[in-house]
Amino acid sequence: PKLSACARMRSIVARMAAAFRPDEICATNIRESVKLAESPSVELDVFRHAPGSKGAQDYQSLTDELVAAGFVE
């Protein structure tokens, strides 16, 4: 069966991630989201465009993870 473009991209990302050690990859996953995809077209980051969206929540989780790991302040 044919894979959708999204399924192909997930497969590619999974293969790329396998090349890294587990401690080199963030645990946070950024889910697909219409609001996240819309943000560039309205020239706003997802936090201003759709603060309650899955995309905003996921990017906030990633930020929290990076801060906790000492990568950013």
Question: Is 46 exposed, middle or buried, given 0-12, 13-18 or 19+ CB atoms closer than 10 A?
Answer: buried
Token pair of 42 as six digits: 């309205």
Q: What is the pLDDT of residues 18-35, one digit of tens each?
A: 888 888 889 998 988 899
So what's the pLDDT on residue 8?
A: 85
Q: What angle do CA 73, 27, 70 make, to 5 degrees?
A: 20
Q: What would the mean pLDDT of 35-58 be, rounded to a whole number?
A: 95
For residue 30, which of 39, 43, 21 has the smallest C-alpha distance?
Answer: 39
